[in-house]
Amino acid sequence: MQQMCAFWSSVALMSGRYHGSPMVKHLPLPIDAVHFDCWLALFETTAREICPPAAEAHFVERARRIAASLELGIAGGQGVLLGIGERFRRDEAGELR
């Protein structure tokens, strides 16, 4: 949790507290567009509930960029080159589709 707090402090407040590589942490996980959509929905709901509107917009915009970047990187790590507007998806067995 401390590492996540440092990450978001760096992302949202430019504090420089986080020193790490989020992509390396996410690459081995069997996640795809469905997971990012779920995470973003939860993140956006939480931000709406606890942040003033300007802070909510700030956090959500960054979260969306981070999710898109991670999804693109994970796809690339699996040898999948996504086109504009394409999403990275696996089947129920975790295989690429």
% of the chain surpassing 90 pLDDT: 87
The predicted model gives 4-12 an average pLDDT of: 92
Nearest to 82 by CA among 91, 69, 92: 69
Domain residue ranges of the chain, discontinuous segments joined by +: 22-97
pTM tops 0.75, yes or no? yes
Cβ-contact 2, 37 below 8 angstroms: no
pLDDT one-digit tens code per residue, 31-69 = 999 999 999 999 999 999 999 999 999 999 999 999 999
Alpha-carbon distance of 97 to 88, in angstroms, equals 8
pLDDT at 90 (0 to 100): 86
pLDDT-derived band of residue 91, with 50, 70 and 90 as boundaries? confident
